[in-house]
Amino acid sequence: MDMILNISGALCLLVGSFLCISGGVGLLRFPDFYTRMHAVGVTDTLGAGMILIGLMFYSPDFLIFSKLVIILLLTLLIGPTTSHVLAKAAMQNNLKPKLQQEDNIKETSSSNY
Amino acid sequence: MKDLFAVVMLLGIYSLLSASFFVAMDAVDVAFTEAAVGAGISTLLMLVVITITGRSEKTTRHKPLLALLVVVFTGSMLIYGTFDMPYFGIADAPIHSHVAPRYIQESMKEVGIPNIVTSVLASYRAFDTFGEVVVIFTAGIGVMALLSVGRRPEENEKTTAIDDSMHEQYLVIRIVTKMLIPFILLYALYVQFHGDFGPGGGFQAGVIFAAAIILYTMLFGLTTARKVINQSFIQFIAAAGVLLYGCVGIVSMLNGANFFDYNALASDPVAGQHLGILLIEWGVGCTVASVMIMIFFNFAERREMQQNNEKINNIEGDSL
């Protein structure tokens, strides 16, 4: 039983840290605001969540376990909301996502004016 | 850097980082305060100021050489001053041999509170803390005197229409906020009353409480928030907090002890200390929370007035 807890906790921590690192790489490598935000938003929620779940496996008593559950619920609630608000604010300030083809951009921008 | 928004964000990040190194140095109370006050509320208040003043710095004509010279000179003097200081963490530094041993060894017997920081802040150094609270109160009065806008114009149909259209725009964040605010307020109360046993206390609790109210104001509009908390009530609470703090000192003086000597508050010295610390933390929390809310309200009101004036100007320009 103890070994199962240890191994599953370690697995969760590993996945979580991998997701956080990939989020960091995405933040640096993606081309425009929206894709960057996507990288950070998705991986931060899931990555932090996985790390918290991994820590739950290791928690020695119920008090710490319940604190971790509360933190998890808070991140699950706040993370996606902040990403949503950020994207919305960028949209309202007329920041357009970078599209692949050159003429595609021209078409959209010309149709807007 | 010319973009003030970026400057404010960098300042917030710096505060958060310094909070994390306070944690690394085992100063949890300081870290908590830094995170709540430095990274949280002061960043927020500066952002509010930016909405009024505009985002970019004014371009200066002259080269600020003199200022650079003064900064470099002062900085090098300060660094020179640090050479005289004892090494970091050295055991016989003056700061460790003056009053600190008494705080560490005797405070449990004298004050009876597990968190030494709280007993130093609220009991041994109560007079200093009183000064801090008065400073905050004065800041609130200053902002009010400078920015307060007399009577608000009555709400007309147009603004309610704008409010309704905003509701659809901000639906997600409004609902999430509605879910979160009770927990934030509850957490503030927890921090307030748990300050005796763990990190926390009146300052942090007040700031967290104010942050919840400010969040509500930002999302639901100043008019709605004013209905929940009106200006004169907050002013009253801000003053009442300082008054409560001062009164605890006066009462202990009337009981024949020194100013802020809580031993005289009850028949048992330790019980007196507990009562005194509870009361003054309560006073600090009230004052800090209401002053923060007051500052935010006044800035937001100014901003609203500016916007309304712009709107009226635009309408007049269109009709011409």
pLDDT tens per residue across span A56-75: 988 888 899 999 999 999 99
**What is the reported pLDDT for B157?**
55
Over range B287-305, report the average pLDDT: 89
Task: Give the chain B residue nearest A81 (alpha carbons).
Answer: B173
Min Cα distance B169 → chain A (Å) is: 9
pLDDT digits (tens, 9 = 90+) for B13-26: 999 999 999 999 88
Smallest CA–CA separation between A31 and chain B, in Å?
A: 21
Which pLDDT band holds residue A12 (cuts at 50, 70, 90)?
A: very high
Question: Are B173 and A85 an interchain contact pair (Cβ–Cβ within 8 Å)?
Answer: yes
At A110 the pLDDT is 45
pLDDT tens for A70-112 read 999 999 888 888 888 888 888 888 888 877 655 555 545 444 4
- The percent of residues above 70 in pLDDT, for chain B, comes to 93
Q: What pLDDT digit, counting tens, does each position of B170-192 carry?
A: 788 888 888 899 999 999 999 99
Chain B contact for A67, CB < 8 A?
no
Nearest-Cα distance to chain A for B284, in Å, is 28
ipTM: 0.75
What's the per-residue H, E or C state across chain B? CCEHHHHHHHHHHHHHHHHHHHHHCCCHHHHHHHHHHHHHHHHHHHHHHHHHHCCECCCCCCCCHHHHHHHHHHHHHHHHHHCCCCCCCCCCCHHHHCCHHHHHHHHHHHCCCCCHHHHHHHHHCHHHHHHHHHHHHHHHHHHHHHHCCCCCCCCCHHHHHHHHHHHHHCHHHHHHHHHHHHHHHHHHHHHHHHCCCCCCCHHHHHHHHHHHHHHHHHHHCHHHHHHHCCHHHHHHHHHHHHHHHHHHHHHHHHCCCCCCCHHHCCCCHHHHHHHHHHHHHHHHHHHHHHHHHHHHHHHHHHHHHHHHHHHHHHHHHHHC
The residue ranking higher by pLDDT, B90 or B297, is B297
Q: Give the gap in angstroms from C-alpha A77 to the nearest C-alpha of chain B.
A: 7
Contacts of A81 in chain B (CB under 8 A): 172-173, 176
- Interface contact flag, B173 A78, Cβ < 8 Å: no
Question: With bands split at pLDDT 50, 70 and 90, how would you rate the model's confidence at B273?
Answer: confident
Instruction: Flag if A81 and B179 touch (Cβ within 8 Å).
Output: no
Which chain A residue has the Cα nearest residue B172?
A81
CB contact under 8 A, A78 and B180: yes
